[in-house]
Amino acid sequence: MRQNISLIVLAAGMGSRYGGLKQLDALGPNGETILEYSIYDAINAGFDKVVFVIRDFFEDEFREKVGSRFSDQIDVQYVHQDVNPEVAGIEDLPKREKPWGTSHAVLVCKDLIDEPFAVINADDYYGQSCFNILGDFLRTEVLPKRSAMVGYVLQNTLSDQGNVNRGICETDQDGNLIGVEEVLKIHRHNGKIVHGENHEGSLPADAIVSMNFWGFHQDIFRHLELGFREFVLANVANPKAEYFIPLIVDDLIRNGEISVEVLTSHDRWYGVTYQEDAALVKKAFQTFAEQGKYPQPLWQ
């Protein structure tokens, strides 16, 4: 029997650097959003369901502008990531202004998913091939202790408009992830890729980075639930603490709970970290349409 696979799209972010809800911005030739291209590629790769993690206050707009366009082609579900969720056994948590991060965003999907699944950001364009690669992995190779991550070549993921943060991946000789180091303020300077406010460190152009494109067995939810409670307990007094996916993955790798195969993509990443990035993304999608990579309009 064919294995069903799902896709979680993290779309609850507020786009503080971008200055708005970039997951709803029309950037394609016919008003498509970035995430619609990911859904199109996922459908072609055989994904059966998509779960959007959103905030409650823009659900109606999100359903109308995005979800309605392809709801006849894939099972579409929605779940809210609350800023101040209840945590079992913990009372009187300080009020927060931001959600608890990407691991918590995945965790809120646990009642909607009982099959292997991928996780992506709503505001990143990942390329077509990676959905096929990860989809095949989820159908044939994923196990409770065997996960995957799509890694990207650093030089293919930079913005010309400013600094970006990237998770630099370390792998063993078999291509399994050892750890992800978050490196801040990466940018080009004098022909090199550097990081830091004063260009104090350099990075190889072909370093493999995480763009938050993961593949998991559904067993990961029990680890996320336990890990989230422990993280909240350790960060009660920090209203800005966020429980990121690499944090739980690093813990599980160190404890021997899972291995994570790094599946390298050489596709060019596109995203909208800054408002100025939008023009480049629009140009790329127009080029893709002219090349015939995507139909016009995207949804026939």
- pLDDT (tens digit per residue) in 235-272: 988 988 999 999 899 999 999 999 999 999 999 999 88
What is residue 17's predicted lDDT score, i.e. its pLDDT?
Answer: 41
The model's confidence at residue 18, banded by pLDDT at 50, 70 and 90, is very low
**pLDDT > 60? residue 66:** yes
Which domains are seen in the chain, by residue range? 6-291 (3.90.550.10)
Question: Mean of the per-residue pLDDT values for the chain?
Answer: 91
Question: Does the pLDDT value for residue 16 go beyond 80?
Answer: no
The whole-angstrom separation of Cα 213 and Cα 149 is 6
- Of the pLDDT bands very low, low, confident and very high (cuts 50, 70, 90), residue 227 is very high
Regarding predicted confidence, which is higher, 44 or 17? 44
pLDDT in tens, 117-173: 999 999 899 999 999 999 999 999 999 999 999 999 999 999 888 888 898 999 999
Predicted local confidence at residue 152, as pLDDT:
96
16: which residues sit within 8 A by CB, 6+ positions away? none
pLDDT at res. 160:
80
CA 79 to chain centre: 16
pLDDT at site 97: 85
pLDDT at 15 over 60: no
pLDDT at 180 exceeding the cut of 80: yes
So what's the pLDDT on residue 22? 65
Q: How confident is the model at residue 19, as a pLDDT?
A: 38
* pTM of the full structure: 0.93
Q: How long is the chain?
A: 300
List own/partner pairs for 60-67 with CB under 8 A and 24 or more apart: 61/24, 62/11, 62/23, 62/24, 65/24, 65/33, 66/23, 66/24, 66/33, 66/35, 66/36
Per residue in 78-126, pLDDT tens?
Answer: 999 998 898 887 887 888 888 999 999 999 999 999 999 999 999 899 9
Average of pLDDT values for 288-295? 95
